[in-house]
Amino acid sequence: MERLQKILAQAGIASRRGAEEMIRQGRVKVNGTVVTNMGCKIDPQQDQVSFDNAPIRLEEKLYILLNKPAGYVTTLSDPQGRPIVSDLLPGISSRLFPVGRLDLDTEGALLMTNDGQLGNYVLHPSYEVNKTYEATVRGLPSPATLRRLAAGIRLEGGMTYPAQLRILKQFKDRTRVEIIIHEGKKRQVRKMFQAVGHPVLGLKRTAYGRLRLGNLASGKYRILTKNDLKKLFTGKIPFTIKNIPA
């Protein structure tokens, strides 16, 4: 017997947290009956589960690294009709969801998968999966300002965790800074630099853990291997990877 939200995550409907919200909204049925109980457990071999009245099926796990261009939203649909990241996955029939988000105007590394368990591990702060960004900011931040950001600053919602920062290149009126964090708060990097008087002019995520974009072209993706997934975590990978090429 397994929890209903876990089955939904395994089916690629959403992350486990997202699946819980869908259950609360009454969008999930088990054997034809709407279920809103978070503690519901089912037998995936016996029980029939549907989402928005469509039967779900468990898919083989698929993991993709996409180099997201600016101008795409990291959702599975958009009421405003803007381009969505799944438009960039030609030939992929599995329903994949993004692990975390990148703003419309932010580009770079975006994990996409139908494995809700992996998504939870990557996003949960306790596993400390580092996210590396290159931020082009206005002005020339001083060493003291960078130390302040590295130590953690107070934003709306509390203090940020310690970060790692280094200057990549300085220009006359702007600076390119590498910043490594393991949190995933909305627009966090932009808010951090805004708080110290150096607003972000351009932002790109270049890595999750030791999994880097490398020479992956903008708008392109590659399917990840078991060795790629191991690069996400600093220690032992916290779950079992099955049926994935090494």
The string of pLDDT tens digits covering residues 160-183 is 999 999 999 999 999 999 999 988
Class of domain 2-55: alpha beta
Rounded Cα distance, 196 and 91, in Å: 44
Residues assigned a catalytic role: 103
Confidence (pLDDT) at 200: 97
Where along the chain do its domains lie?
2-55, 63-125+210-230, 130-208
Give the alpha-carbon dihedral of 109, 113, 116, 118, to 10 degrees.
-60
- Rounded mean pLDDT, 23-44: 88
Residue 45 has pLDDT above 80, yes or no: no
Main-chain dihedrals φ then ψ at residue 8, nearest 5 degrees: -65, -40
- Rounded mean pLDDT, 57-63: 79
The string of pLDDT tens digits covering residues 100-146 is 889 999 999 999 998 877 888 888 777 778 999 999 999 999 999 99
Alpha carbon of residue 175 to chain centroid: 26
Of the pLDDT bands very low, low, confident and very high (cuts 50, 70, 90), residue 94 is confident
| CATH topology agreement for domains 63-125+210-230 and 130-208 | yes
Please give the CATH architecture assigned to the domain spanning 130-208: 2-Layer Sandwich (3.30)
Tell whether domain 63-125+210-230 is in CATH 3.30.70.580.
Answer: yes
